[in-house]
Amino acid sequence: MIEKVKKLAEKYREQLVYLFIGGITTVIGFTVYELLVFFGLDVVISNIISWIFAVTWAYFGNKIIVFRDKVKQPGKVAFQIFKFISSRVFTLVVESLLIWFGYEKIGISKYLVKIPVAIFVVILNYITGKLLVFVNSKPSGSSEPVSGNDKEE
């Protein structure tokens, strides 16, 4: 039984670690959001500010812990950060629109509206991180990068 759990954990390490890092990211986002809303800031502005805090943590957590990315060349890192921020801006727009729609048009509590939206955004962020941002990261269980990230071009 323990061996089966270990094998499953190894097989799905990336997704499990992503959920853990994403959980921390979500807690950061929710905490900042809730504090700002509590102090009277608009829900959309609160969401944008909380996003800045969360996305900063998420980049480093995803790069280092989830995808074990080895890209170190300044130009490549800069482009990677650009892609990461761009993908997160896209999901921020989606998230903000869904929060606005849920709160303003449907009437869901400004606190509760963020929960289902956050779940959707976590999934969307994993997909964009995996397919667009950290595409040259080594596969789970591998000790080598896929496309020579450690070499200078």
Task: Look at residue 143 in the predicted model and tell me its pLDDT.
Answer: 47
What are the residues whose beta carbons fall under 8 Å from the beta carbon of 86, sequence distance 6 or more?
Answer: none
The residue type at 58: A
Could you state, in order of their start, the residue ranges of all structural domains in the chain? 2-133
Output the CA–CA distances (angstroms, integers) from residue 26 to 19, 51, 132, in the order listed: 10, 9, 21
Pick from 29, 37, 8, 43: nearest CA to 125: 29
Look-up of token digits 């596969």: 139
pTM score, two decimals? Answer: 0.70
- Amino acid identity of residue 142, one-letter, is S
The secondary structure of residue 73, as a DSSP letter, is -
Q: Please give the pLDDT value at position 146.
A: 43
pLDDT for res 36: 97
Q: Which of 96, 123, 20 is nearest to 62 (CA)?
A: 20
Confidence (pLDDT) at 92:
85
Per-residue pLDDT, 148: 41
26 pLDDT tier (thresholds 50, 70, 90): confident
CA distance 77 to 139: 19
Check if the beta carbon of residue 14 is closer than 8 Å to that of residue 68.
Answer: no
Confidence of residue 119 (pLDDT cuts 50, 70, 90): confident
pLDDT tens for 75-117 read 999 999 999 999 999 998 998 999 999 999 999 998 899 889 9
DSSP count for the chain of H helices, then E strands? 5, 0
